[in-house]
Amino acid sequence: MRLLLRARLRAARRPPVRRPVRPNDPREDQRRFGAPVRACAPLLEEGDGRDRTFSIPTLDDDIWRKTEPGTAHPRQRLKAIEKLVTAGIDVGVGLAPILPGLSDRPDLLEDVVKAARAAGATGLWANMLHLKDGTREHFLSVLGRHWPELLPRYERAYHDRAYLPQSFGDKTMQEVARLRSLHGVSDRRRVILKPPPQPEQLSLLN
C-alpha cells in the first residue's frame, strides 16, 4: 500500500507531458481540422435558431498557416457552416480580418465568397485588419518574419491608430460587395429554425 501511494505521489508531482505542435504535420492538421465540425453538436442540440458567424479571412493555405497557427482550417469551418445551415440554423461568414497586401487580392476574396455560397452561408460581411495594443506587436512580428517587405507599409498605415482610415479599405469593401452580389450569398435555407419567443414579463403592478 505504501509503495502504491508513493508511486501515485511521484506521478502527481511530474510536470504534464506537452505534445509539441508540428505545423507541417498532416496528423496535426487532422486533429485541429475536426474541431469546428465537432463543435456543431451542441449547437444542433440547442436548435435555438439564433444566428452565428464563422470567421473565414482567407482560403490561402500559406497565409492561414502563418497568421492563424493552431486554428481550424478554413475549409473545416465551411463544413461546419454547411452542416448547421442544413439543419436550419442561420450561419454567416465574416470575411475578416482582411490583410492589406496579402489576403485582399480580388482572386483570394472571390475564393472565400464562392466557398461561402457553396456552403450555404446565409450572409457575408467583411472588415479590414484592426491592430489594437497587444495584437499589434504580435502581428507585426509575424509580418516581419514572413513578409518583411510589407512591414514598412503596415507601420505607416497603422501608425498611432488601430483602424485603417476608411479610404484605405473602400476599394476592397466595394469588391466584396460586388462579389457577394455576383455569387448570390444570401439566406437560401430550406429549413429555417426560428429563435424561441422571449419569455413574457410579468407586471409587478398586477
Residues 112 and 83 in one domain: yes
- Tens digits of residue pLDDT in 124-165: 999 999 999 889 999 999 999 999 999 999 999 999 999 998
Q: Which of 93, 100, 77 is nearest to 180 (CA)?
A: 93
CATH number of the domain encompassing residue 63: 3.20.20.70
pTM of the model: 0.75
pLDDT at residue 167, as a whole number: 87
Asked whether the beta carbons of 122 and 49 are under 8 A apart, the reply is no
> Is 23 buried (19+), middle (13-18) or exposed (0-12) by CB count in 10 A?
exposed
Asked whether the beta carbons of 162 and 130 are under 8 A apart, the reply is yes
For residue 183, the number of C-alpha atoms closer than 13 Å in the C-beta half-sphere is: 22
- The CA distance from 33 to 75, in Å, is 8
Residue 152 lies in a domain: yes
Residues 43 and 95 in one domain: yes
Residues 84 and 138 in one domain: no
Write out the residue range of the structural domain in which residue 141 sits. 130-163
Residues 66 and 145 in one domain: no
**Pairing mode, strands 124-128 and 52-55:** unpaired
- Tens digits of residue pLDDT in 158-186: 999 999 988 889 999 999 999 999 999 99
Query: Using 50, 70 and 90 to split pLDDT, how confident is the model at 203?
Result: low
Residues 57 and 147 in one domain: no
pLDDT at residue 193, as a whole number: 83
Number of domains making up the chain: 2
Residues 55 and 81 in one domain: yes
**Pairing mode, strands 52-55 and 91-98:** parallel
Residues 141 and 100 in one domain: no
The residues near 137 (Cβ < 8 Å, ≥ 6 apart) are none
- Tens digits of residue pLDDT in 62-78: 999 999 999 999 999 99
Residues 148 and 173 in one domain: no
Average pLDDT score, the chain? 81
